[in-house]
Amino acid sequence: MTCLLFYHGYCYSLPLSHSVFIVSTSSMLWPLHVYQQKHPLNFVFLGLFTASLSLTVGVSCANTDGKIVLEALILTSAVVSSLTAYTFWASKKGKDFSFLGPILFTSLVILLVTSFMQVFFPLGPATNAIIGGFGAVLFSGYIIYDTENLIKRFTYDEYIWASVTLYLDILNLFLSILRMLRQGDN
């Protein structure tokens, strides 16, 4: 039994088990938020969320050349390290990045609508690469914004939700870079 998945402008025919992992990843966000301060359950839901998300990302990486995945991994590591170091340095100097919230949210909506339009009206590989580049810039901004939230706004007890937000930022940055490199390889 298969299920069609539209992801980043591609139509994948996936086994039903992969579709279950995609739905389970999305459904794990609610219990993660609700039980973020209940000690044993928060780690269980975080583990389930991470495992199901890693399986869905694994499918995307399995359909890509290993060299491109390695390049995306190296680029993502360099960007995350430098942005995190910059945010900690800027935070220590008194910089405030909270103004980025509305800009990033609006940009995310534009990215989602454009990606959804790509499913029905494919605009070509160049547009796909541009969308990947825009996504990389957008999620780089989210890494700065969420790292500052981790430093200044999250309390000590909200470590689970803080880790989920940063994990999703880093993962989305990786997938955007992967998308851009995949289109550049074609």
Which tens digit of pLDDT belongs to each residue from 104-129?
999 999 998 988 888 788 888 888 88
pLDDT at residue 8 is higher than 70 = no
Q: What share of the chain is helix, strand, coil (3-state, %, to 5)?
A: 80, 5, 15
Percent of the chain scoring above 90 in pLDDT: 35
Length of the chain: 186
For the entire predicted model, the pTM comes to 0.81
CB 145 within 8 A of CB 84: no
Q: Residue 27: which region, alpha, beta or left (left: phi > 0; alpha: psi -120 to 50)?
A: alpha
User: What are the distances in angstroms from CA 20 to CA 6, 24, 141?
Assistant: 15, 6, 31
169 touches 139 (CB < 8 A):
yes
